[in-house]
Amino acid sequence: MSLIIPPLRGVVGRPVTHWPDLSRGDCVQIHQGPRTVASGTVDMVALDGSVLWLIRDRGLGRTLLLRADGFSVYRRPRAKTSQ
């Protein structure tokens, strides 16, 4: 099974260079080189930032990502809520 899935297109946020800065529930896009390979919601990040569990969009399950594999994470902007 390939990790590469059709991500949400055109939605790129801020790059997150220090993975421990991510929080459970953050919406992110995952890039490997110039390609967007997945998008979803952060489920868990290791304290040392070496791994990230992603609940993928569109019901595609949960994926473990290793920072050492060259993935880059971009935090998508949160939807604005009206009060």
Q: What pLDDT digit, counting tens, does each position of 8-38 carry?
A: 455 578 899 999 999 999 999 999 988 999 9
CATH code of 67's domain: 2.30.30.520
pLDDT more than 90, % of the chain: 71
Inform me whether the pLDDT recorded for 53 exceeds 70.
yes
Decide if 28 is inside a domain: yes
How far apart CA 31 and CA 8 sit, in angstroms, is 12
Decide if 1 is inside a domain: no
Question: What is the span of the domain harbouring residue 42?
Answer: 14-75
Decide if 32 is inside a domain: yes
Pair 27, 78: CB distance under 8 Å: yes
Q: And the tokens for 77? A: 């902007």
Decide if 7 is inside a domain: no
Decide if 8 is inside a domain: no
Decide if 53 is inside a domain: yes
Mean pLDDT, all residues of the chain: 86
Number of domains making up the chain: 1
Predicted confidence at residue 10, as pLDDT, reads 59
- Is 0.85 surpassed by the pTM of this model? no
H-helix segments, the chain:
none
